[in-house]
């Protein structure tokens, strides 16, 4: 008799997001996602190695954008680069599995839903085999904004981010550690990952520079937020900054509403919102920090206060673990959403959108 549950694949199993995904699974069974089979994939560098997950040894298979490789699987997470994701997504969809992709490859494709389960779960129902997950900085922002938007429509958002080096990958984490060590012993830190030294510094540059002076990370936050919230004309401005923190993105968000909203009302709304924890007692120095958020699931919100520059404005401070909540957990939540609702039929009935083209890249 077959083991009940879902057959899950993970492409990029030995990478940063892949390991975070497996760590969440290791923490205990998830009621909406019983696992019958776990199949791990990686590049040639890691293929053939063994990984222990849930007490069982798993061979890491060589990943290839071939539908036959994924036959028999129900759900596949791809935590790989954009170019690879453009090849793997259609192959996974053609195999009959549902691909949840964490890259930038499919986010702005009109045929691909961009899903944060706390915000737009219904969008996942319209998939054709691929569901995109947003940028980690976008994820935590929309989780905090959506409950307020439901009560009092948001007209404008200005966000300044303070993003951890893990958002770049483990090479950046290692470089920050090595730079801190070099400074401590009086040596000259080596600079490779970023254009400037990140230790004891902040870098107002994330992604590639685009026309108009914005960087790609800032444009992602604008475009993805509009798509997820279903507000294509929402006014948003973002400034994204890299800071010398290992894990945990922080955001200063300034929101203009359609109507005046008191800080206490916003706290009450967010206190009952899914995926949100309010920590807001500045007199006791109690507000979210990235150290507090690291390794935890929620999006933390604090310092909710009136915006002195606008009568209908509020300002807030939003923090989350960018690797866990911003990527791995969001993917698991999408898996659970699809499984709970039985939204598997789209990938088998409508393969055409991915047959003859590549993904639409974001700005």
| 99 in Cβ contact with 88 (< 8 Å) | yes
Structure-token pair, residue 275 = 């995926």
Sheet of 154-163: strands edge to edge? 235-242, 154-163, 249-257, 313-320, 299-306, 276-278
Instruction: Assess if residue 361 is contained within a domain.
Output: no
User: Are residues 261 and 156 located together in one domain of the fold?
Assistant: yes
Cα dist. 322→151, 170, 275, 310, 328 in Å? 27, 13, 14, 30, 9
C-alpha 293/C-alpha 300 separation (Å) is 7
Residue 311 lies in a domain: yes
SS3 55: coil
* Mean pLDDT of all residues belonging to the chain: 94
Can you give the CATH number for the domain in which 49 is found?
A: 3.40.50.720
Pairwise CA distance, residues 87 & 82, whole Å: 9
In a domain, 105, yes or no: yes
In a domain, 96, yes or no: yes
The pTM (predicted TM-score) of the whole model is: 0.94
Specify whether 246 is located in the same domain as 348.
Answer: no
Is 240 among the catalytic positions?
Answer: no
The DSSP H or E segment spanning 98 is strand 98-101
Same domain? For 232 and 316 the reply is yes
Do 36 and 184 lie in one domain? The reply is no
Q: What are the backbone angles phi and psi of residue 172, rounded to the nearest 5°?
A: -70, -35
- Looking at the structure, tell me whether residues 85 and 144 fall in a common domain: no
Going by pLDDT thresholds of 50, 70 and 90, the confidence category of residue 347 is very low
The tens digit of pLDDT for each residue in 281-330 reads 999 999 999 999 999 999 999 999 999 999 999 999 999 999 999 999 99
Q: Round to whole Å and give the CA distance between 149 and 136.
A: 20
Same domain, 83 and 201: no
Asked if pLDDT for residue 199 goes beyond 70, the answer is yes
Residues 113 and 30 grouped into a single domain: yes
Stretch 130-147: mean pLDDT, rounded? 98
Q: Are residues 141 and 283 in the same domain?
A: yes
pLDDT of residue 205: 98
CA 254 → CA 76, 200, 305, distances in Å? 36, 27, 10
Q: What is the pLDDT of residue 4?
A: 78
Residues 141 and 263 in one domain: yes
For 92, the domain range is 6-133+325-354
CA dist 275 and 277 (Å) reads 7
- Render pLDDT for 76-133 as a digit per residue (tens, 0 to 9): 999 999 999 999 999 999 999 999 999 999 999 999 999 999 999 999 999 999 999 9
Tokens (6 digits) for 94 = 């053609």
Query: Among residues 58, 127, 149, 249, which one is catalytic?
Result: 249
Q: Which residues contact 187 (CB under 8 A, 6 or more apart)?
A: none
Within 286-344, residue ranges assigned H as helices are: 290-293, 330-341
Rounded to 5°, the CA angle 194-198-199 comes to 150
CA-closest candidate to residue 316, choices 245, 241, 265, 360? 265
* 286 domain-assigned: yes
Say if residue 164 is in the same domain as residue 311.
yes
Within-domain flag for 363: no
Domain assignment of residue 221, yes or no? yes
Instruction: Identify whether 1 is part of a domain.
Output: no
Confidence category of residue 346, pLDDT binned at 50, 70, 90: very low
Shared domain check, 220 and 104: no
Coil, helix or strand for 123?
helix
Residue 249 known to be catalytic: yes
| Confidence tier at 360 by pLDDT (50, 70, 90) | low
Distance of CA 5 to the CA centre of its chain: 25
Q: Same domain, yes or no, for 142 and 244?
A: yes
Single out the catalytic residue among 58, 136, 149, 240. 136
Number of domains making up the chain: 2
């Amino acid at each position: 008799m077959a083991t009940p549950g879902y057959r899950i694949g993970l492409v990029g199993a030995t990478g940063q997001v892949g390991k975070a995904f497996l760590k969440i699974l290791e923490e205990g069974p998830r009621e909406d996602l019983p696992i019958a089979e776990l199949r791990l994939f990686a590049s040639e560098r890691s293929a053939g190695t063994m990984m222990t997950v849930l007490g069982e040894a798993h061979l890491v298979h060589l990943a290839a954008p071939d539908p036959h490789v994924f036959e028999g699987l129900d759900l596949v997470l791809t935590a790989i680069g954009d170019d690879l994701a453009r090849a793997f997504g259609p192959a996974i969809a053609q195999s009959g599995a549902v691909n949840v992709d964490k890259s930038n490859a499919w986010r702005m494709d009109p045929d691909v839903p961009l899903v944060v389960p706390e915000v737009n779960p219904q969008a996942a129902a319209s998939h054709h085999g691929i569901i995109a997950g947003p940028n980690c900085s976008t994820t935590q922002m929309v989780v905090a904004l959506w409950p307020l938007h439901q009560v009092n429509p948001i007209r404008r958002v200005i966000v300044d981010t303070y993003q951890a080096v893990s958002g770049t990958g483990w090479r950046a984490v290692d470089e920050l550690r090595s730079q801190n060590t070099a400074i401590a012993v009086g040596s000259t830190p080596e600079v490779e990952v970023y254009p400037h030294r990140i230790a004891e510094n902040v870098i107002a540059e994330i992604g590639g520079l685009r026309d108009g002076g914005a960087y790609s990370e800032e444009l992602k936050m604008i475009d993805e937020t509009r798509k997820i919230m279903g507000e294509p004309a929402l006014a948003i401005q973002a400034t994204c900054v890299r800071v010398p923190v290992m894990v945990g993105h922080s955001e200063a968000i300034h929101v203009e509403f359609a109507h005046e909203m008191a800080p206490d009302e916003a706290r009450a709304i967010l206190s009952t919102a899914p995926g949100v924890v309010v920590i807001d007692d500045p007199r006791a120095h109690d507000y979210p920090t990235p150290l507090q958020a690291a390794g935890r699931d929620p999006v933390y919100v604090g310092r909710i206060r009136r915006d002195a520059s606008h009568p209908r404005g509020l300002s807030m401070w939003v923090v989350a673990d960018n690797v866990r909540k911003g990527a791995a957990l969001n993917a698991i939540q999408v898996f659970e959403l699809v499984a709970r609702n039985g939204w598997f039929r789209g990938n088998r009935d409508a393969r055409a959108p991915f047959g003859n083209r590549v993904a639409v890249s974001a700005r």
